[in-house]
Amino acid sequence: MRSLKPRDNRAWFGVLPVVLIVAFSAVIPLMTVVNYSVQDILDFNTRFFVGFEWYRETLNDPRFLSAFVRQVVFSGTILLIEIPLGIAVAKGIPRNSKLTPFILILLALPLLIPWNVVATIWQIFARPDIGLLGVGINALGIPYNYATDPTHAWITIVAMDVWHWTSLVALLAFAGLTAIPRPFYQAAEIDGANRWQIFRLIELPRLRGVLIIAILLRLMDSFMIYTEPFVLTGGGPGNATTFLSQYLTTMAVGQFDLGPAAAFSVIYFLFILLFCWLFYSSVVRNDDS
């Protein structure tokens, strides 16, 4: 189908507005960042060219490295939970029941709540003095307090992210499942395939496309997480839940270290591109073989 498309360079007029607006909202700012990253800016009239000094400094900064490790562990953890859980939830959604629209709306709900409100909900829910969860766990005899114990802070943030984003995976996977034609299942039934085989040999390959999108979206977005830990724990206790965006924001807006913050930004962006590209190209390579 796609190869039949006629060639016509006048189609550029159609994409021109998008190019202009993205140039304005992305290219100009990005160029500014790159420009800052190679300068030492004392004030706006006194600046020196310092080459890759800030890049070297950032990559050797132990606080950057520990934030980076926390970030990778966090993204890995939530992907390992949210992807399988999302698929399982999607498989449980009835296809053509009167309840289906309501379940879908309910699932979509967390995606539409402002991110700081998500954090507020979890704050109210998990606080050991007024929260249902916090009070409940403490009543079981476990001294739970996400504001003072780093492990509890981590578990709470992961639980919050699972609450917030598993729906996205589930809705994507459900969209993929509904597109599998009935005869596929009938053929499998005739061949006597069990439930696990049906899942592994029919459903999973058919879900590939949507799962790639789900993993990419969750990978990028979890790597950029800022608002939820900022509101819930403020990055604490100590630095236990300070992820890359939060460290960067403190640097850029809090301390106004323009040069180092800019170098940090470039490295940060390149890492996300690298991870997405690695994932994407490894999936596509598997396709070819």
Interaction residues for another protein, span 64-83 (CB under 8 A): none
Measured at the CA of 116, the angle between CA 112 and CA 118, to 5 degrees, comes to: 55
Question: In this structure, are residues 34 and 205 in contact, taking their beta carbons and an 8 Å threshold?
Answer: no
Q: Which of 38, 67, 78, 89 binds another protein (CB under 8 A)?
A: 89
Task: Classify the C-alpha dihedral 245-251-256-262 as positive or negative.
Answer: negative
Virtual torsion, Cα 200, 202, 206, 210, nearest 10 deg: -40
Nearer to another protein, 14 or 192 (CB): 14
Report the largest interatomic distance among the alpha carbons of the chain, rounded to a whole angstrom. 77
Say whether residue 115 binds another protein (CB under 8 A): yes
Say whether residue 125 binds another protein (CB under 8 A): yes
Say whether residue 8 binds another protein (CB under 8 A): yes
**Rounded Cα gap, residues 260 and 59, in angstroms:** 11
Site for another protein in 238-277 (CB under 8 A): 244-246, 248-249, 252-253, 258, 261-262, 265-266, 268-269, 272-273, 276
Residues near 279 by beta carbon (within 8 Å), at least 6 away in sequence: 215, 216, 219
Say whether residue 108 binds another protein (CB under 8 A): yes
Q: Which of 69, 132, 278, 284 binds another protein (CB under 8 A)?
A: 132
- Per-residue H/E/C for 204-269: HHHHHHHHHHHHHHHHHHHHCCCHHHHHHCCCCCCCCCCCHHHHHHHHHHHCCCHHHHHHHHHHHH
Site for another protein in 39-68 (CB under 8 A): none
Say whether residue 2 binds another protein (CB under 8 A): yes
Say whether residue 121 binds another protein (CB under 8 A): yes
Say whether residue 101 binds another protein (CB under 8 A): yes
Nearer to another protein, 69 or 99 (CB): 99
**Rounded Cα gap, residues 83 and 37, in angstroms:** 36
Nearer to another protein, 241 or 265 (CB): 265
Say whether residue 6 binds another protein (CB under 8 A): yes
Output the smallest distance, CB 150 to another protein, in A: 22
Report CA-CA distances (Å) from 206 to 68, 91, 136, 174, 267. 34, 13, 42, 11, 36
Q: Count CB neighbours of 63 within 10 A.
A: 13
Taking alpha carbons only, the member of 216, 227, 102 closest to residue 161 is 227
Residues 148-177 as x/- pattern, contact with another protein by CB under 8 A: ---------------x--xx--xxx-xxx-
Q: Which of 97, 200, 209, 284 binds another protein (CB under 8 A)?
A: 209
Output the smallest distance, CB 55 to another protein, in A: 15
Nearer to another protein, 139 or 190 (CB): 139
Output the smallest distance, CB 167 to another protein, in A: 8
Say whether residue 143 binds another protein (CB under 8 A): no
Nearer to another protein, 6 or 51 (CB): 6
